[in-house]
Amino acid sequence: MKIAIIGSRGVPNNYGGFEQFAEMVAVLLVKAGHDVTVYNPHYHEYNEPTFQGVKIQKIYNPEEKIGSAGVFIYDYLSMRHASKSKFDILLFLGYATSSIFFPFVRKRKSVWVTNMDGLEWKRDKWSPSVKKLTIFFEKLGVKYSDYLVSDNREIRNYFLNTYQKDSTFIAYGATLFNSPDTSCLKEYQLDAYNYDMLVARLEKENNIETILDGYLLSSSDKPMLVIGNHNTPYGELLKTKYANATGIRFLGGLYNLNLLDNLRWHSRYYFHGHSVGGTNPSLLEAMASGAFIMAHNNLFNRDVLGENAFYFDDAQGVANIIDGKTEVESKRTAFIQNNKTKIDQEYNWQKIADEYEAMFKQCLSEKRK
């Protein structure tokens, strides 16, 4: 099959979840014998024509000049180029900046598959008018895509109940980590299992304040690491709010996976506050790295973790976990091992790539009937 992947900030990954997905799945599809192209923004630092057999097509993206509006231009130019390139499959990663162009770009002979991601319109950073616009984009994505992918069973239920349109459940993947090394802790003056942490984009819907307020309500004297880019308006607000909390340490964005895996492995408690997405890549990475996970209580997180985590609804719930009022430690070994087994059996990259390959073949078979 000739496959194009559109909607990421390019491979190799130097940004986030969709980029990691594009890199891992594209490489595995090439190894399976398919012709795969990933669309990269023109400014991506990787300048070779291929990456591990994956073709790279650079497209102009003015995001760095004009902000998020530039992503709309980038997606449109990518779609226009791909529509003329005789691909069998166009896989769109997300709908928020591409679906507005779906009615205006000729499909030609390609099958359009959209990974619908999370419920973008629930993000707290959006104004009411932007949220309404995002719901409109969601409707366009559902209407004009030939097939939909949901990365979480609860996301699949949402689209089925809201639009009466089914989607294929295919999650993200992660790579198991089994090589712990305490040497990296010295750089941050940390002792193994003597600190707590969270890794997230610093956005309101990721419950950063809920976790940090709960930490302050608790009796903990251990450091709380906050890992995520804090050079944003909300990041600055957080740093100001917790400026006098000596235990809270904002480390900024860390993108070395081995370092992150070691920090997660050696943490006491790992807090995951995401609440509006589907299957969050950072959650799978935490599971794969052997972290002991405390998660925000919502359907998406419970779909992934099941009974292998402690859940919190509010700051007091966080404090109760930290202070051991839920007999937390007795579950550490079992929860960690169960989550790693789940990564190995359900959320491994080869399985994800195989499921996409099977879906694409089915899509083309149905089209040819």
pLDDT tens by residue, the chain, 369 residues: 999 999 999 999 877 778 989 999 999 999 999 999 999 999 999 999 999 999 999 999 998 888 878 889 999 999 999 999 999 999 999 877 788 888 878 777 899 999 987 666 556 566 677 778 878 888 898 999 999 999 888 889 989 999 999 999 999 999 999 999 999 999 999 999 999 999 998 988 899 999 999 999 999 999 999 999 898 889 999 999 999 999 999 999 888 889 999 999 999 999 999 987 778 889 999 999 999 999 999 988 999 999 999 999 999 999 999 999 878 889 999 999 999 999 999 999 999 999 999 999 999 998 776
Residue 270: how many other CB atoms lie within 10 Å: 25
**Which CATH fold would you assign to the domain 2-172+348-368?**
Rossmann fold (3.40.50)
| CATH code 3.40.50.2000 region(s) in the chain | 2-172+348-368, 183-345
- Judged on CB neighbours under 10 Å (0-12, 13-18, 19+), 175 is middle
pLDDT at 278: 76
The pLDDT value given to residue 325: 82
| pLDDT at position 36 | 98
Give me the pLDDT at residue 108, please. Answer: 74
**pLDDT given at position 63:** 87
Give the model's pLDDT for residue 119: 62
What pLDDT does 104 receive? Answer: 77
CATH number of 183-345: 3.40.50.2000
Instruction: Evaluate if pTM is beyond 0.75.
Output: yes
